[in-house]
Structure 1
Amino acid sequence: MNTSNEQPINTKIPFMNTLTGVTNKWTQNGYTDTITISPEGLYSVEKDKKYGPADVRVVDFYRFEGQSDPADNCILYVVETTDGVKGMVVDAYGTYADDDVTKFMKHVEEINKNVEKRDKSEDSQAA
């Protein structure tokens, strides 16, 4: 038991380390729309509607590296559209990246990496 005024060592991992864990978290937070990206833009299956890069913002993104196989490398984009579509896009990166996704994401102006929000969320879950 630590009786001094020292802060305990933070042993929790400050990020989720699996694609499944992260997608489950965002699905629970309402990011459930089925989204694809083609040369024509981002497409919402539920709304049957296409969006350009100006209509999309990346709320957060995660990069995953395969432990033993570079083919397992991927990036998850958590996205929202201006009219409320919320979903996720998974793409490989490196050799196996989808050119349509890469080109589309390069034109999205608002891309966030909200580490502070994620850390606070994990703090509240640990309490």
Structure 2
Amino acid sequence: MKTDYGTLSQTINGLKAEGYTLDFNVQKDCLICHNTNTQLSPEEFEIDGVFRFEGESDPDDEAVLYAISSTKSDAKGVLVNGYGVSNDDASAALVQKLNRHR
């Protein structure tokens, strides 16, 4: 895995080319890909890479991209989030796992 692909969209495309094809979202106590109904609890995934993007003129454009792989299957995908995952969006275990890699 490369450490720099360029922009957020270039990084997503680069990771997709490397097999990170699922699009994960945070759901209370897990990550979920709605297209495939794949759900991963904090103990069922690893974070293979973290990429940070800062908006040039607007702090609201900041984002973190996680490259995620399952420890229970061959599922791999990405999670795009604003800077940090809040406790409002996810369980404490999920927030702790994601923040450990910041």
Q: After TM superposition, which residue ranges in structure 1, 4 or more long, deviate above 3 angstroms? A: none
5+ residue gaps, structure 2, are none
Alignment of 1:16 onto 2:1: no
Which residue of the partner structure matches residue 11 of structure 1?
none
Whole-Å separation in 2 of the counterparts to 1:88 and 1:101: 17
Higher RCO, Cα 8 Å, sep 6+: 2
Q: Gaps (5+ residues) in structure 1?
A: 1-13, 114-127
Q: Contact 2:29–2:90 at 8 Å: present in 1 too? A: no
For 1:36 and 1:15, locate their aligned partners in 2 and report how far apart those are by CA, in whole Å: 23
Q: How many residues matched?
A: 95
What is the TM-score normalised by the length of structure 2? 0.77
TM-score normalized with structure 1 length: 0.64
* 1:74 equivalent in alignment to 2:60: no
Match of 2:52 among 52, 63, 83: 63
* Structure 1 equivalent of residue 74 of structure 2: 84
* Contact 1:44/1:85 (<8 A) preserved: no
Going by fraction, where is helix more abundant, 1 or 2? Answer: 1
Which of 1 and 2 has greater Rg? 1
